[in-house]
Structure 1
């Protein structure tokens, strides 16, 4: 019986759960390339749907609806952090 050893330095290994430095870097590079590809094709943002923070982030859409959704996401994130910080004190 052979044991399966993960190949480090690959985005697929990161997605399988490995968080070593090499796998984290491979995933970062993979995600950056994916974001660049999505941002280059505005039709992809149209298919993803406007008015969502994920479209603002993942597809680099800067229409008014996506900007508003991302602003709301950031506002809620700040509020959650303030609450958590107050509870920790």
Structure 2
């Protein structure tokens, strides 16, 4: 924590080799998330992507990619209008 206090406000958010960069994006295509993941190896930090898409751009660039399960299929009965039930 002391090392963080000694940094200037401009560089306080930049990762060190002891840090991990975790990018969270539902689509896996958010430009700011991808930029942060691409910056991590330049600073010798580990990068992790969390996205819902199995083959996301952020996941391809990260050291570790975590993907969520696809949503369950909607019930056909619930999607029908009430009058058709």
TM-score, structure 2 length as denominator? 0.26
Larger Cα-atom Rg: 2
Specify which structure has the bigger relative contact order, considering alpha-carbon pairs within 8 angstroms and separated by 6 or more residues. Answer: 2
By percentage of residues, which structure has more helix?
Answer: 1
